[in-house]
Copies of this chain bind each other. A is one copy, B any other.
Amino acid sequence: SRHLTWSFHTPRVINAEKSEFNEDQAASCQISIRRREPGLEEDEEWLILCSTQFLTGYYWALFDGHGGPDAAIIASNYLHYCIKQKLEEVVGGITGAHPPMHLSGRCVCDSDPQFVEEKHIHAEDLVVGALENAFQECDEVIGQEMEATNQMGGCTALAALYFQGKLYVANAGDSRAILVLKEDIVPMSCEFTPETERQRIQQLAFLFPKLLDSEFTRFEFPRRLKGDDVGQKVLYRDYFMEGWGYKTVEKADLKYPLVHGHGKQARLLGTLAVSRGLGDHQLKVIDTNIEVKPFLSCIPKVNVFDFALHDIKEDDVLIMATDGLWDVLCDKEVAHMVRSFLAENRTDPHRFSELAKCLVYRARGKKRGHQWMLDDSHEASYDDVSVFVIPLHKRDED
């Protein structure tokens, strides 16, 4: 099996001192997963201690906060602990020394042979399940913590875990991770926004109309409707539609749309620009009693990259960044910068952190008068920008 050692002054740059307040948070650490001897109960603690072995995971995460930095701070202090816990719960199945019942699904049920199933469950599926459960647990903890201390806010979460020869990227929000390989760019996440999750959000409002408290319409229209549109035919979409249809405007359609706007302007309940993440338990639509949380999901989509299936080259890296980077640079532009920077700086021992800085400064742009501009004289990112550059190549020393 592959041995990687990463230094944990991992190359990352947060925000490049542009704004006074920064709602981005980052975390990275080794995760030691305790592997218990099976069959031992909690009260045999001394035996557990005697027989403990550890597996090592490597973890990096970015949290982009909104409505205050608190949720992002708690998440950056706590998510890796949730992941460690959830991995320990399934580690017996992962290592396979004592695979718990039905990992293979081949267990035959003699009394009821028609129920025997082959589900093709692999160790990888247990790690994915652990990450999904960890995000959910972390969200619960954030909710309790913030209620107890009367704090507000939420955050997106993008977490990468290297474990047992595979890279797992779990994403809930609009940050993005890509692998920049010598010959290829591999997307490791997709963005969850009110626009990309429109159908899920509209369907919830269809199933539970009370959630909108008669203040919003669940229909999508190409623009905000106004009084003289009543009686006209306009384009609309309901929860079950990927295409568009026409409807005759009624008075109820003049309400503010549940999901409104396009691209970076898309908003959920006029309030939030993301549809997945952690926190926001107390968030209400301004001047109403309408809660936003029921429409949010804390569950990440997990993508897996198996190192055994790829020939990793020296300059291959994982790039993780908050939306501030991707708003102004596309995957190809980032990959181009990564490849040319690393090729030009082959001997610099700090080249990965220099590259992270370089990416952040590029997205931040240069100050010209009152505006921050990109090199191509487009407007630069005004958002917080945080970037991880994580080398993938096996290194025996650091």
Contact = CB atoms under 8 A, between A and B. Distances in A.
Given A117-B261, A132-B241, A100 B226 contact: no
B119 A222 contact: yes
B129 A224 contact: no
A131 interface: yes
A86 B100 CA distance: 54
Given A207-B207, A246-B100, A112 B241 contact: no
Is the interface on chain A under 10, 10 to 19, 20 to 34, or 35 or more residues?
35 or more
A243 B131 contact: yes
Nearest to A86: B245
B129 A237 contact: yes
Given A101-B234, A102-B234, A233-B101, A128 B242 contact: yes
A302 interface: yes
Interface stretch (A103-111, A151-159, A308-316, A384-392): A103-111
A244 interface: yes
B101 A226 contact: no
Contacts of A182: none
A102 B223 contact: yes
A260 B118 CA distance: 12
A126 interface: yes
A69 interface: no
A132 B243 contact: yes
A242 B121 CA distance: 11
Contact of A242 (B93, B132, B240, B241): B132
A243 B128 CA distance: 5
